[in-house]
Structure 1
Amino acid sequence: MQLVTASAPVTAGPCADVDLDRATIPLLADLMADGTLTSVELTHAYLRRIADVDRLVRAVLAVDPTALKQAADSDHRRTRGQSRGPLDGVPVLLKDNIDTAGLATTAGSRALCVPPRHDAELVRRLRAAGAVVLGKTNMSEWGNFRSPWTPSGWSAVGGQTRNPHVLGHSPCGSSSGSAAAVAASLAQVAIGTETNGSIVSPAGHTGVVGFKPTLGRVSGAGVVPISLEQDTAGPMARNVEDVAVLMSVLAGVDHPLTPGALRGARVGVWRKAGFSAVVDRVLESAVEILRGCGATTVDVELRYQEEIHAAERAALVTEFKHDVEEYLRTRPGVPRTVRELIEFNENDPVELSRFGQERFFDAEKAPPIGDAAYLDQRRTATTLARRSIDEVLAAHHLDVIMAPTNGPAWPTADNGDPDGLSTASPAAVAGCPTITVPAGFAGPLPIGVSFLGGHGADATVLRFAADFERAAPARRAPAYLRTLP
């Protein structure tokens, strides 16, 4: 099997005529149903792909030693006519802040290297659907929350994940490994998590699809938290169709991608103009595509952004202390408090080698979750974020809002990330759905556009993203360039 046409070294696998880069879950399900492909062959192909390519990308922290057995079990079910659905036998990678029994779940920290005893609820759902848990992906340590100087994609456990399009540039974070692994075809799909941009931003920077669902649609039980007021897991894939299939398993609700969402629709365009000329050009091209598909576009601005950011930043510190300590009590053999995490880091030879733990110190001193000032901060952040979306949707009678997801990925540096283009905050803080889809390039570096909607509008944003992808399939396989030309 020719795995991927790319400049990275590729090794042929045992099954024929399947291009991993272009394959979709429905295609793979059909091939397995008619006997052309087995899950063992598919899983073996992805394991070989990891062995060949991940030395360049460094996205995969650990491979599940039971992966081939899981695949064999899937094949056995299928021969008995007991397939569990389209995800049965499909290899999935999980961000390493998602509890996976028998595999270390570290959030990138050496303090959490004792494996959890139980699967997270979302992992139980994946296993029940027959998915092959292929392994765990690297991430920005503690979801980029230990310090403001955290370089995206670096953790003490996994080192620095690289952007497969240009290896010297950032994959962004914090679901860096999940995004880079999907871009490099190291699994069919992956699961990321987001507090504010950590699914859509790395997906945009690595040229894949990333979906952050409405808060609460996917269970957060067994996921290392930053804030239960904003955290959610979500799917990352090379196409919208696979994202929809994965969401049907994670949330228990089907999202059929019937075409025609754009015809007659009204789309707000939040341009964020002036950040980058190439981003402006990509967005204008996306606008023309929407119009060509029969949509009406209206330029809009989302209000209250500075107020949202200030209130959210203060609230997250209190929420992190409370929520992470609640989580740590479920994990035998690991530190129990933020104070114990701080002390672990101070005594570890690797943890503080790249950046500090300023936000941990802030969290240690944070007020309790019932504090009146904190409650006002959270209420302000969430209310204004929802208003920023709802008011624009209502004022212009819009179906969705489109915005650029990201600018070109920056060179990876030791002293944290530069200020970059971000449009993730309104949906993240409001708990609303948003999805990024590849839309163009700045040289070899991908640029995405996002569709966001009101609370609960998951099916709507998925349909719009699918229609846009059909009209303008912009994604391409990474070239694994060492540096920019």
Structure 2
Amino acid sequence: MLGLALSSPAFASIAKPPTTEQAKVNLAKSGPIENLDLFQLVDGIDDGALNSEAITAAYLARIAEVDDAGPTLNAVIATFPDALEQARAMDAEIRTGRYRGPMHGIPVLVKDNVEVAGPIATTAGSLALANNITNRDAPLIARLRAAGAVILGKTNLSEWANIRSNDSTSGWSAVGGLTKNPHALDRNACGSSSGSGAAIAAGLAAAAIGTETDGSITCPAGVTGIVGFKPTVGLVSRRFIVPISHSQDTAGPMTRTVRDAAIMLTAMAGTDTEDPATAEADNWRGDYSKGLSVEALGGMRIGVVRAADVDAALFDAAIAALREGGAEIVMLDTRNVDREAMGEAEFKVLLAELKADLAAYLEGLPEGLVPHKTLADIIAFNKAKAPQELQHFGQDIFELAEKEKGLADPAYLDAVATSRRLASNALNGFFAGQRLDVIIAQTNGPAWVSTLGKGDAFSGPSASQMPAIAGFPHLTVPMGLSGGLPVGLSFIGPKWHDHAVFKAGYAYEQLSKARVAPTYRASMETK
């Protein structure tokens, strides 16, 4: 059984669910659905006040109100027509005494590069995959279903997970359009898990799946003011996810709170015999929601990476909160980290693996769905559909990747060795040399104005590169508003030490209470 067992003290006595009409009344009394986090929904189901059908119906109404109309966030591409049917089935199980754990009956949104069985295509935002209805669940989706989750819908993303062009606008895809940031609708939601981040910030669900190669969970979470967690690479299966890089790809939870992300990851993590990277996952996975406490900071040694362009007031306040919570703070000197060489090697790895891994994914699709079998085929498709696909930016990264010579090429193998050595050695050197439990850094700068056709105007620091290359766990937690827009605080741990990252992040979250609800203003100039 995945998640917490029925015998767990927190969920030892599950009340029978109420009628849906009564559950709707109770839900209304609890406050707007957008103000409830996953753990509050779990409590409502636990004590018999709420049921999955009422929760799912409320989210479907919220999506119609805020995403399809109102601010029209373009966060959700489509909802599954059987979502309410799934929810009723979960309620029926509780009536018969079966409770699968805290994800039981909880609706989840899924980034549209992750396959989900049903009538909705998995497109990665591209019209080239418009018919990619595989009718199979990615293993991580199968795990969530086994834990009782209701698969609610698919979220928009930066097309091809932001690997098509250097001039791409994060959050735009030919399938889903441009996702807006709920904190200011003209601002970018970052990428590539743009829709998942915006959806959680706007309360379209309490739980969503994102994916990351480098920054694609943590940046959208940071700029939309939510929690995002990139697990140790290999803790969660990547099978049946449209790939970029087998070295760096992973899926992870995006939620309102750290506890919620921990509950989700508990259900998602585990070995998949068809994904060699996950061979050790079952040895390391556990209940990540256990042991979360402010007191966990006592005795922790926390390293600090202070970029030159941090928001000094917010960052200093975060350090002070961690120190007051009992952590020992160690300032780190990163001047000897060769970020330029690391970045060049990483890019070479991503180009080569994109060409090889995407072809392997396309070749492995069920027969007759998608005629494209190689990256060259996708490039040709984009040229043929240029008015739709290339209207805002080109495919220069695709074209560079197509020139790669394969995974046996000495230049690729050298880049793999160089990138891993530089990233892993730097992080492991800090963890071992300074006896650190976690490292913190500012996750991101504030969201920029989205300007289709002109690329992204990133500003401020970024904490994603080293943990992405090394495959280490990386959690971002809201740190407050910088210039009126959210930024996050990153917690990075050694490989497989995901639980330690959750413990530190949870304690900071409880001490800081820094998450701010979105305003849906048209721009930062609008009051």
Q: Structure 2 length normalisation: TM-score? A: 0.87
Check whether the contact 1:304–1:388 (CA below 8 A) recurs between aligned residues: no
**Alignment of 1:310 onto 2:344:** yes
**Alignment of 1:205 onto 2:244:** no
Q: For residues 343 and 509 of structure 2, what CA distance do their matches in structure 1 show?
A: 31
Task: Measure how far apart 1:13 and its partner are.
Answer: 6.1
2:403 is matched with which residue?
Answer: 365
Q: For residues 205 and 158 of structure 2, what CA distance do their matches in structure 1 show?
A: 20
Q: For residues 180 and 81 of structure 2, what CA distance do their matches in structure 1 show?
A: 24
1:377 is matched with which residue?
Answer: 415
2:258 is matched with which residue?
Answer: 240
Residue 376 (structure 2) aligned to one of 339, 349, 358: 339
2:508 is matched with which residue?
Answer: 468
2:18 is matched with which residue?
Answer: none
Matches within 5 A, 1:38-437: 38-54=51-67, 55=69, 56=71, 57-102=73-118, 103-114=120-131, 115-252=133-270, 253-255=286-288, 256-259=290-293, 260-273=295-308, 275=309, 279-302=311-334, 303-331=337-365, 332=367, 333-334=369-370, 335-348=372-385, 349-414=387-452, 415-420=454-459, 421-437=461-477
SS at match of 1:261: helix
Q: For residues 135 and 361 of structure 2, what CA distance do their matches in structure 1 show?
A: 13
Structure 1 pair 413–257 and aligned structure 2 pair: CA distance change class (3 A): farther
Q: For residues 472 and 306 of structure 1, what CA distance do their matches in structure 2 show?
A: 34
Task: Measure how far apart 1:339 and its partner are.
Answer: 1.0
Q: Once the two structures are aligned, what percentage of the paired residues are identical? A: 47
Q: For residues 470 and 34 of structure 1, what CA distance do their matches in structure 2 show?
A: 24
Q: For residues 84 and 292 of structure 1, what CA distance do their matches in structure 2 show?
A: 38
Q: For residues 228 and 292 of structure 1, what CA distance do their matches in structure 2 show?
A: 40
2:8 is matched with which residue?
Answer: none
Q: For residues 347 and 282 of structure 1, what CA distance do their matches in structure 2 show?
A: 48
Q: For residues 247 and 312 of structure 2, what CA distance do their matches in structure 1 show?
A: 33
| Residue type of the alignment partner of 1:105 | T
SS at match of 2:515: coil
Q: Deviations over 1:162-215 (max 9, x none)?
A: 000011000000000000000000011000000000000100000000000000
SS at match of 2:378: helix
In structure 2, list runs of 5 or more residues that go unmatched. Answer: 1-22, 271-285
Check whether the contact 2:356–2:406 (CA below 8 A) recurs between aligned residues: yes
| Residue type of the alignment partner of 2:380 | E
Check whether the contact 1:257–1:462 (CA below 8 A) recurs between aligned residues: no
Task: Measure how far apart 1:383 and its partner are.
Answer: 1.7
In structure 1, list runs of 5 or more residues that go unmatched. Answer: 1-11
Task: Measure how far apart 1:362 and its partner are.
Answer: 1.1
SS at match of 1:17: helix
| Residue type of the alignment partner of 2:375 | V
Check whether the contact 2:259–2:292 (CA below 8 A) recurs between aligned residues: no
SS at match of 1:350: helix
SS at match of 2:78: strand
| Residue type of the alignment partner of 2:456 | D
Q: For residues 23 and 241 of structure 1, what CA distance do their matches in structure 2 show?
A: 13
2:12 is matched with which residue?
Answer: none
| Residue type of the alignment partner of 1:110 | L
| Residue type of the alignment partner of 1:417 | D
SS at match of 1:307: helix
Structure 1 pair 174–301 and aligned structure 2 pair: CA distance change class (3 A): farther
Q: For residues 476 and 78 of structure 1, what CA distance do their matches in structure 2 show?
A: 35
Task: Measure how far apart 1:329 and its partner are.
Answer: 1.2
Q: Deviations over 1:441-471 (max 9, x none)?
A: 0243101100001111100001000000111
Task: Measure how far apart 1:33 and its partner are.
Answer: 3.0
| Residue type of the alignment partner of 1:299 | M
Q: For residues 47 and 492 of structure 2, what CA distance do their matches in structure 1 show?
A: 38
Check whether the contact 1:234–1:247 (CA below 8 A) recurs between aligned residues: yes
SS at match of 2:440: strand
Q: For residues 457 and 418 of structure 2, what CA distance do their matches in structure 1 show?
A: 27
Report the count of equivalent residues. 471
SS at match of 1:193: strand
Check whether the contact 1:267–1:295 (CA below 8 A) recurs between aligned residues: yes
Q: For residues 155 and 459 of structure 1, what CA distance do their matches in structure 2 show?
A: 34
Task: Measure how far apart 1:307 and its partner are.
Answer: 1.5
Q: Deviations over 1:215-257 (max 9, x none)?
A: 0000000100000100000000000011000000001521113
SS at match of 2:66: helix
SS at match of 1:403: strand
SS at match of 2:472: coil
Residue 24 (structure 1) aligned to one of 22, 26, 37: 37
Q: For residues 359 and 149 of structure 2, what CA distance do their matches in structure 1 show?
A: 31
Check whether the contact 1:282–1:447 (CA below 8 A) recurs between aligned residues: no
Q: For residues 358 and 112 of structure 1, what CA distance do their matches in structure 2 show?
A: 20
| Residue type of the alignment partner of 1:269 | V
SS at match of 2:53: helix
SS at match of 2:427: helix
Residue 478 (structure 2) aligned to one of 438, 441, 446: 438
The alignment yields a C-alpha RMSD, in angstroms, of 1.4
Q: For residues 44 and 470 of structure 2, what CA distance do their matches in structure 1 show?
A: 41
Task: Measure how far apart 1:93 and its partner are.
Answer: 0.2
Q: For residues 200 and 350 of structure 1, what CA distance do their matches in structure 2 show?
A: 29
SS at match of 2:188: coil
| Residue type of the alignment partner of 1:347 | A
Q: Deviations over 1:277-308 (max 9, x none)?
A: xx122111101111111112122133122221
| Residue type of the alignment partner of 1:270 | V
Q: For residues 151 and 58 of structure 1, what CA distance do their matches in structure 2 show?
A: 14
In terms of mean alpha carbon deviation, does 66-75 or 407-416 score higher?
A: 407-416
Q: For residues 483 and 13 of structure 1, what CA distance do their matches in structure 2 show?
A: 34
Task: Measure how far apart 1:35 and its partner are.
Answer: 2.3
| Residue type of the alignment partner of 1:140 | S
